[in-house]
Amino acid sequence: MAAPVKPSVLRMLGRDLGGALSLGMVVLIVLAAILAPWLSPRDPYETDLLAIMQPPSAEYWLGTDGQGRDILARMLFGLRVTLLMGLASLLAGGVLGALIGFCAAFYRRADGLLMRFMDILLSFPAILFGLALAAIFGPGEVSVVIALSIATVPLMARIVRGSALVVMGLDYIEAARAIGMSDGRLIWRHLAPNCLSAIFVFSTLRLGQVILLGSALSFLGLGAQPPLAELGAMAAQGRNFLFIAPHISVIPSLGIFVIVLAFNLLGDALRDALDPRLRI
């Protein structure tokens, strides 16, 4: 059932066109973000008032924005902020959610209480958390990350609980208990590794959603503040020039679209690759 995971999963991904394509896109996106300072043709914050709202050209590949800043440079640096906000909130919310999910599956007595609490969290939209946190801490990346973390916790908790409950029903958990393993060790060494595929798949899908939500919050002015380059904020700044210079808004929006699409496709492909029922 569960063969050593790494080589076969990559092979499964490679076999499926969507998987290979999305993996390639994700790798390119991450590389672009990491290499932004070397790839970028200019400083993303350098304004040139003689070259505002330039359409894409040989000199400015993606044109310039309302203050004459190079959109390509801002896209590359914005990618970093957008991805980091997404990753940070996925990591924080995912780890906390996974812990809660493991505890709910492992300590059945706590299950009802923990999951009802998760249901309560689930009933608030992420945007609402963002608004509330921006009101408390002021708008900024930190508020966005906290809001998205909180919104991710209950989703991850549910996914992990479901997958952990299946594992808890298997004899090897009982067998490990019967040789005197402590609860912590049971969860960490026996339960968690067997839930990893579900966690991976969900994380990949969720990263796309979180990036979209983060950009939306920035677009609403609750997240990244000017002049910081961030895809959602850039799309928001171009809003005023939508009829004169649409590329200022459209290009970052397309960027968000491509990122989210890549992560969603990768998540779908991962799910197919890790699903034991589909494995031959």
Binding residues (CB under 8 A) for other proteins: these are 1-4, 108-109, 170-172, 174-182, 185, 189-190, 193-194
Nearer to other proteins, 105 or 217 (CB): 105
CA distances from 143 to 33, 51, 221 (A): 22, 34, 11
Distance CA 195, CA 188 (A): 11
Q: How far is the CB of 5 from other proteins (least distance, A)?
A: 8
Q: How far is the CB of 278 from other proteins (least distance, A)?
A: 17
Q: How far is the CB of 184 from other proteins (least distance, A)?
A: 11
Distance CA 55, CA 275 (A): 46
Nearer to other proteins, 37 or 169 (CB): 169
Q: How far is the CB of 267 from other proteins (least distance, A)?
A: 22
Q: How far is the CB of 221 from other proteins (least distance, A)?
A: 46
- Do 74 and 65 form a contact (C-beta atoms < 8 A)? yes
- Do 178 and 184 form a contact (C-beta atoms < 8 A)? no
DSSP codes of every residue in 218-268:
HHTTSSSPTTS--HHHHHHHGGGGTTT-THHHHHHHHHHHHHHHHHHHHHH
HSE value, Cβ hemisphere, 13 Å, CA-based, for 247: 18
Nearer to other proteins, 41 or 193 (CB): 193
Distance of CA 129 to the CA centre of its chain: 17
Nearer to other proteins, 178 or 280 (CB): 178
**Phi and psi angles of residue 46, each rounded to the nearest 5 degrees, phi first:** -80, 120
Q: How far is the CB of 91 from other proteins (least distance, A)?
A: 22
Nearer to other proteins, 7 or 180 (CB): 180
Helix or strand or coil: residue 77? helix
Nearer to other proteins, 136 or 178 (CB): 178
